[in-house]
Amino acid sequence: MSDAKKLFIKTYGCQMNVYDSERMAEAMGADGYTLTDVVEDADMVLLNTCHIREKASEKLFSDLGRLRPLKDARPDLKIGVAGCVAQAEGAEIQRRMPLVDIVVGPQAYHRLPALARATGPQVDTEFPAEDKFDHLPERRALRGPTAFLTVQEGCDKFCAFCVVPYTRGSEVSRPVDRILRETRDLVSRGVREVTLLGQNVNGYHGAGEGGAWTLGRLIRSLAQVEGLERVRYMTSHPNDMDDDLIAAHGDVPQLMPYLHLPVQSGSDRILKAMNRKHTRDDYFRVIDRIRAVRPDTLFSSDFIVGFPGETDADFADTLDLVRRVGYGQSYSFKYSARPGTPAAEKPPVEAAVADRRLQELQALILDQQRAGQEAMVGREVTVLYEKAGRQPGQMVGKSDHLHAVHVDDATGQVGELARVRVVASAANSLSAVRIS
Ligand code: SAH
Ligand code: SF4
Ligand code: F3S
C-alpha cells in the first residue's frame, strides 16, 4: 500500500478562511490526503488567500515565487490557490504564475478533490446553485475545545472600500437545522465554545421552523445544546444589531460579553463617503443598548485611516469615538485602494499623513487595551482551557472577555472551564492562579 498523500495548507486573511481551510482539509482527507506542516513533504500545496488589502494579495505571489524551486524539482507537485484572490483574479493567476495547477473560489471548494484528481490546469470560481456545505464530509479537523462555524457568507453592504461583496458574493445564510447538526457534532467531539462566523453574521436570516430565523433566535436555540458552554459571533454590522440580538446579550448566559463591531471611522462625513449607512450616533446608540443589558461587555472594532478625502478633523473624530467607546481591543488599517471598488477611483490621502494617523490611532488603541487588561488584575474570571502552557504546570485559555490567560494549574485539563484569579497583566495576556 502506498503512503497517504500529504497536503500543506497556508491560510491568509480572516477567520472564515480559517474555517474554509479546515473544511478543505476534510474534503481532501476523504480523498486520502493527510495534513503536513512541512511544505517539502507535500504532494499538494494549497494557498487559501485574502484580497482585502493590496499587501494581503501580493503575499500570494511572493509565496508562489518561493514554491517555484519545489515545483521545478517535482513537477507532479500540485499547487492550488483558493480563497478571495482566486475568486477575484481567477484564470489570470495561472497566466501570471503557470506553476499553479488549480484555482478554486470560496463557493466552489467542495469540488476541490475532483479538481485535484483532474490533469491539466483547473479553474472553478463559480457560485454554484448547490450548497457546498451539503457536499462536504463531516467535521474532523478540530483544534481543541473551541471551533469556528460559518453560518452566513457574503455581503450586500458594498462599503465603498471593500472587495468582500465581489469575492464572496451576496448574502446567503445556512439553514438552522444544518447549523444545529454541525454544532451537536462539534460538541460530541469535545467542543465547548463555538464562534459563529459570517462576513455580515448579524444579518443572518437562515431557514428554520416557521420561516427565516434571526441570529438572536439561532443563538437562543444553540444555547439549548447540552455541553455547549460558550457562543460568540463575528463580524457584525452596526445596522443589523436588531432588538432580539441585543436582548440575547442580556439574557443568554452562554453568549459571551464581547462583541466585535467594526465602525471604520468616527467621522460622519467619511462614514457617508464609505457608504457605511450609519452615523457615529447610530453606533453609540447600539453600544449603549448593549451595555444597558450587559454592562461588562467589551467591544472591539476595525478602523480604516486615510480613506480618500479624510481630513485632520475627520481623523480627530475617529480618535474621539475611540475615547468615548473605550475598546478592549481593535484592529486598524491604512486604507488600501482595491481594484473595482468605488473608493479606488478617488484621489488618495498622502501616504505619510495616513502613516502618521495610523500610528496615532494604534497608540491610543494600545493604551486602552493595556488599561483594560490592568483593570482585570485582582479579579476572578472564568477561563476555557485550550492547551497546556509552555511552562510546566500551566494552562492557557481565554476568558469570557476574550483575554488570553496563562493559569498556574498543575492538574488542569484541556476543555475545562476554570475559575481563576488574575494576578498580573503582560503585553498581550493575563496571568492567573486557579481558585476552583
Ligand atoms: N465584515 C467583514 C469585514 C472584512 S474586512 C468581516 O467579516 O470581517 C475586515 C476589515 O478590513 C474591515 O472591517 C476593514 O476595516 C478592513 N478593510 C476592508 N477593506 C479595506 C481596504 N480597502 N483598505 C484597508 N482596510 C480595509
Ligand atoms: Fe466589507 Fe462593508 Fe461588507 Fe464588511 S459590511 S464585508 S466592510 S462591504
Ligand atoms: Fe480576506 Fe476574503 Fe476574508 S478578502 S478578509 S479572506 S472574506
Q: Of all protein residues, whose CA lies closest to atom 6 belonging to ligand 1?
A: 199
pLDDT at 121: 94
Q: Of all protein residues, whose CA lies closest to atom 2 belonging to ligand 2?
A: 159
51 CB near ligand 3 (under 6 Å): yes
The sheet carrying 146-150 orders its strands as: 146-150, 193-197, 230-234
Q: Which of 52, 148, 172, 302 best tests ligand 3's pocket when mutated (most atoms within 8 Å of CB)? A: 52
pLDDT at 1: 42
Locate 270 and state its grid cell.
Answer: 467619511
414 three-state secondary structure: coil
237 CB near ligand 2 (under 6 Å): yes
Answer for the pair 191, 145: CB distance below 8 angstroms, yes or no. yes
Q: Which domains does the chain have, with CATH numbers?
A: 5-124 (3.40.50.12160), 138-374 (3.80.30.20), 380-434 (2.40.50)
- Cα–Cα distances (Å) from 331 to 13, 73, 349, in that order, read 13, 41, 20
Q: Return the closest-CA partner of residue 277 out of 288, 292, 264.
A: 264
Which residues does residue 10 pair with via DSSP β-bridges, in sequence order? 47
394 three-state secondary structure: strand
- H helices of 294-427, in order, are 312-325, 351-374
Locate 100 and state its grid cell.
Answer: 499553479
Q: Write the CB contacts of 37 (distance below 8 Å, at least 6 apart in sequence).
A: 8
d(CA 53, ligand 1 centre) in Å: 8
Tell me how far apart the alpha carbons of residues 34 and 295 are, in angstroms, rounded to a whole number.
Answer: 46
d(CA 158, ligand 2 centre) in Å: 6
Q: Return the closest-CA partner of residue 116 out of 87, 64, 73, 80.
A: 80
- Look at the chain and count its residues: 436
pLDDT at 301: 98
Answer for the pair 250, 294: CB distance below 8 angstroms, yes or no. yes
Q: Which residues are annotated as a binding site?
A: 14, 50, 84, 155, 159, 162
pLDDT at 312: 98
Is the backbone of residue 157 left (phi > 0), alpha (psi -120 to 50) or beta? Answer: alpha
Which residues does residue 275 pair with via DSSP β-bridges, in sequence order? none
Answer for the pair 193, 230: CB distance below 8 angstroms, yes or no. yes
Locate 366 and state its grid cell.
Answer: 494600545
Q: Return the closest-CA partner of residue 61 out of 87, 25, 99, 35.
A: 99
d(CA 74, ligand 3 centre) in Å: 31
What secondary structure letter does DSSP report for 306? S
Query: Which one of the ligands is nearest to 260 CA?
Result: 1
pLDDT one digit per residue (tens) for the chain, 436 residues: 456 899 999 999 999 999 999 999 999 999 999 999 999 999 999 999 999 999 988 999 999 999 999 999 999 999 999 999 999 999 999 999 999 999 999 999 999 999 999 999 999 999 988 889 999 988 876 779 999 999 999 999 999 999 999 999 999 999 999 999 999 999 999 999 999 999 999 999 999 999 999 999 999 999 999 999 999 999 999 999 999 999 999 999 999 999 999 999 999 999 999 999 999 999 999 999 999 999 999 999 999 999 999 999 999 999 999 999 999 999 999 999 999 999 999 999 999 999 999 999 999 999 999 999 999 999 999 999 999 999 999 999 999 999 999 999 999 999 999 999 999 999 899 999 999 8
Write phi, then psi, for 260 (nearest 5 degrees): -90, 110
d(CA 356, ligand 1 centre) in Å: 20
Answer for the pair 396, 389: CB distance below 8 angstroms, yes or no. yes
